[in-house]
Amino acid sequence: MHRAHHAPNAVQLSTLVSIKTGGCPEDCGYCPQAARYHTGVDNQDMLDVDAVVSAARAAQDAGATRFCMGAAWRGPKARDLPPVLEMVARVKALGLQTCVTLGMLKDGQAQALRDAGLDYYNHNLDTAPDFYGQIITTREYDDRLATLARVRDAGIHVCCGGIVGMGETRAHRAALIAQLASLDPYPESVPINHLVQVAGTPLHDVLHGQSALDPLEFVRTVAAARIAMPKAKVRLSAGRRELGDAVQALCFLAGANSIFYGDRLLTTGNPDVAADRALFDRLGLMPEA
């Protein structure tokens, strides 16, 4: 299935930068940026536009072709959007694909982002509909679907996936993939995250720091995403460092063809650029041009 739709050894490289860290009012049980949890992540001001553009230029020099900007908001307020629009326009001018994840969007905001040059909007479903309420209570599943509909209506590509290893069952993981695949059209980009447990978050306390998922079950989730959404970029996202090289190699064999690239993912660690390049060399993979 993978080889029918993609160059077999090519991997698309994306870099993710937090442009606004901490202070989020939501209660997502996995997230260290929620204001209500004591995780050591402080509420910070939005980054300066020039600093974001410099980070994008550095990511491009390191081989990334897509630059993603994330903000810890329930959704952007009117005053938040102008600097983000400038970031999008200036990063786009570098020749990079642009992506943002800003939470829920109101009417007109997706169109403004599109007009600034946005290529992708990330808004994950996180998990299956019938497990969602055990992870998040401050927004409904339908709220997420409504934002995705606004993004589609604006003509922006969708980046949408989920998190596994939160104590869900295999049936829940299958239901997440089915929900993603049933979007019409299905997302162009599908990030599959392995839960990174952060002390102070509810999921860390429930799982007591122990992995809730067999690594091979993560590989199966990647394979299911590839089969269900054959043309999508399936991205290894959070938790790659914890998976190790061997499990990552199995994920690439199972159909993953995109990674988040760089040493940070918002507030959690990620393999550094040199480590990823070395792994690519060992596996015979190449960055997608």
Positions annotated as catalytic residues are 24, 28, 31, 68, 99, 159, 235
Beta bridge partners of 15: 67
As a whole number of angstroms, the distance between CA 213 and CA 64 comes to 30
- The CA distance from 92 to 113, in Å, is 12
Q: How far out from the chain centre does Cα 203 lie?
A: 19
- CA-CA-CA-CA torsion for 46, 79, 113, 163, nearest 10 degrees? 50
Residue 141 Cα to chain centre, angstroms:
17
CA–CA separation, 136 vs 132, rounded Å?
6
**Omega of the bond leading into 185 within 30 degrees of 0 (cis):** yes
